[in-house]
Structure 1
Amino acid sequence: MDPSSRPKLFDFHGVSMTNIFTDNWENIQNFQARPDDILIATYPKAGTTWISQILDMLYFGQESPERLTSLPIYERVPFLEMTIPNLVSGKDQADNLPTTPRLIKTHFPVQFVPKSFWEQNCRIIYVARNAKDNLVSFYHFARMNKAQPEAGDWNSFFQRFLEGKMVFGSWYEHVNGWWKKKQTYSKIHYMLYENMIEDTGREIDKLCNFIGLSPSAEVKEMVRSGVQFDNMKKNKMANYSTLPIMDFKVSPFMRKGKVGDWKNYFTVAQNEAFDEDYKRKMKDSPLQFRFEF
């Protein structure tokens, strides 16, 4: 697929988007959520698939384990706003999910979420990842995913990230917008990617607490070990290798899953520029991220 056929960014209600996520806008905004739906919300490349797999295993891993080996994650947890011509839309997939609860994922900034999720008082799980690692991961993702705008070289991608010229907009506005919403809407469980890496079991416990599940120690251990990065990376039903728009010759969808990989990419000058910009944009935010362990 040549770069010219890749989607182009444009400003959509103040957020950089591509037509893949805006073409079906009215239908998506009119999505009818149910009270027991669970929405998984993240900025791209912040652990979406990880949390999706954990929730799917917690809810359905016991009663229908064959799901995990026969259905790719993007069918088990549809991507609500995804609309690619000639493929089923995420909204249609979500409408037709046979499971209870329905697990649905979105990368929308908080102001784009269909209002029925709030009206139905749905539980929402938000995962945020430190901006430097998120940027590096997004860069590799944009290189290999043909449904993303052309990545360009590292330096220009770095610059665009600072300017918020990414699909789904600015990282800063995304993580802070969702955090702010959590202050007035109690059914948001806000997770940090770095905490998940540090102690997956502990974070699964907190998640279970939030969704009201009390799995046995064995089930929790099965989930914890099943979602370790290397297991997920090898798992064809979780690693997106069955999706033709992902070019694994360029990069795997799941690359490293580490904290601190940004140090292999940022120059000293970039790091200084980033830190300065970060301090300015995050000065009023209570969110504290760890950039290394």
Structure 2
Amino acid sequence: MEKPRQKFKDIIDQASAAASKMHRDELMFLYKGVPYPVTFCSPEVFRAMESFEARSDDIILAGYPKSGTNWLTQILNDLADIHEKKTQNKQNTVDNEELEEFPYLEVGDTEKYERMKRLPSRRVIVTHLRPEYLPRSIFKNKAKILLLIRNPKDVATSFYHFTKRMAPLPSYETWDDFFEAFMTNKMAWGCYFQYLSEWNKYADDENVMAVTYEELKENRVVGVKNIAAFLGISMTEAELQSVVERSSFQSMKKNSDKTHGSFGEILFRKGGVSDWKNLFSEDQNEKMDKAFEEHMRGTKLGTKLKYEMYCKA
């Protein structure tokens, strides 16, 4: 049975409705040099977010847009539910619908962080932010951080298709126009290579676990087991299989109307690997290969991405 996600649907619908009345140039604003969509984020919310107090048992999912965060959120929510059922000594009387919050930390209103204090543990919190823009309490209180990364060519490809249907984000007439914007730091939430480079500074932290989209696609059973072990959550074989089955692309796409409303149709497009081969020109391949070489070659996250395997034509 899927959890009700009315707050999620409402915020998406409101943002889309507001954006549909705006000019393309009005859709983004800069905060500390990084572009963000005005219908989802605001400077006031970013300032209020600094007061957010993380718990040591929080699960923070960090991932750049179109890296698979909605997919991994499904897995993490299921794991948190399994943990909750095993560790609760009394029946949960919390009204989850009443306390529901939009899962992305930087999206909402200025009162959100005060309301989040009422959310029961373990909280699953998602963010697209680079580490230097996150509340310091996340690192100070040693919350568990799942860092989800994906090969940059598929990120760009997925982001391109996403912007064509997502009203709160500027759309581009052609793939070539989009690629130019992607490579010149004009994307919502900033440059992906800078995102990877900044998070690489935390790759060796004991409370950070990096997971690639590709490895989860290759073997979801092993991936779920490793994530559960990192979070200290034990599972029976039946529980493991349930998490794996519910997080399949087919299952999530089928249930997307319940979990994400009309937004689900936009989110769950293909869910594959190497779709970039349908768009990238030879020149674009060379430009991205060079950018990866400059930013990520020899780094821990760069090695983990297996660029030679997934990003070479």
Alignment TM-score, normalising by the size of structure 2? 0.79
| Larger relative helix fraction | 2
Task: Tell me the equivalent position of 1:188.
Answer: 208
Cα distance change of structure 1 residues 198 and 169 upon mapping to structure 2, 3 Å threshold? same
1:52 to partner: Cα distance: 0.9
RMSD value over aligned CA atoms?
2.9
Residues 253, 122 of structure 1: CA spacing in aligned structure 2 closer, same or farther, 3 A cutoff? same
Residue of structure 2 in register with 1:225 after alignment: 245
Distance 1:105 1:218, change over 3 A: same
In the alignment, which of 263, 269, 285 is matched to residue 277 of structure 2?
263
Aligned AA for 2:65?
P
SS in 1 for 2:225: helix
Other-structure match for 1:278: 292
Change (3 A) 1:94 1:137: farther
Return the letter of the residue paired with 1:260.
S
Name the CA shift for 1:79/1:110 in 2 (closer, same or farther; >3 Å): same
Q: 2:36 aligns with which of 17, 41, 50?
A: 17
Quick one: percent identity of the two aligned structures? 28
Q: How far apart in 2 are the matches of 1:239 and 1:176?
A: 32
- Partner deviation per Cα, 1:14-62 (whole Å, 9 max, x = no partner): 3233443233122111111122111111101111111111111112158
Does residue 94 in structure 1 map to residue 116 in structure 2? yes
- Which one-letter code corresponds to 2:78 in the other structure? M
Q: How does 1:72-151 map to 2 (within 5 A)?
A: 75=100, 78-83=103-108, 91=113, 94-97=116-119, 99-151=120-172
SS of 1:252's equivalent in the other structure is: helix
Distance 1:292 1:76, change over 3 A: farther
Give CA-to-partner distance per residue, 1:103-135, whole Å, 9 cap, x none: 111111110010111121111111000000001
| Change in 2 beyond 3 A, CA 1:215/1:226 | same
Among residues 192, 209, 212, which one is paired with 2:232 in the alignment?
A: 212
Separation in structure 2 between the aligned mates of residue 163 and residue 138 of structure 1, nearest angstrom: 15
Three-state SS of the structure 2 residue aligned to 1:181 is coil
2:53 is aligned with 1:32: yes
| Aligned CA distance change for structure 1 residues 95 and 201 (closer, same or farther; 3 Å) | same
Kept in 2: contact 1:7–1:147 (CA 8 A): no
Equivalent position amino acid for 1:25 in 2: F
Give the TM-score, by structure 1 length. Answer: 0.84
Cα distance between partner residues in 2 of 1:139 and 1:165? 13
CA distance in 2, matches of 1:93, 1:284: 42
User: Aligned residue for 1:68?
Assistant: none
Check if 1:59 corresponds to 2:80: yes
Contact persistence 1:9–1:167 (CA under 8 A)? yes
In structure 1, stretches of 5+ residues that fail to align are 65-70
Q: Cα 1:57–1:92, aligned 2, differ >3 Å: closer, same or farther? A: same
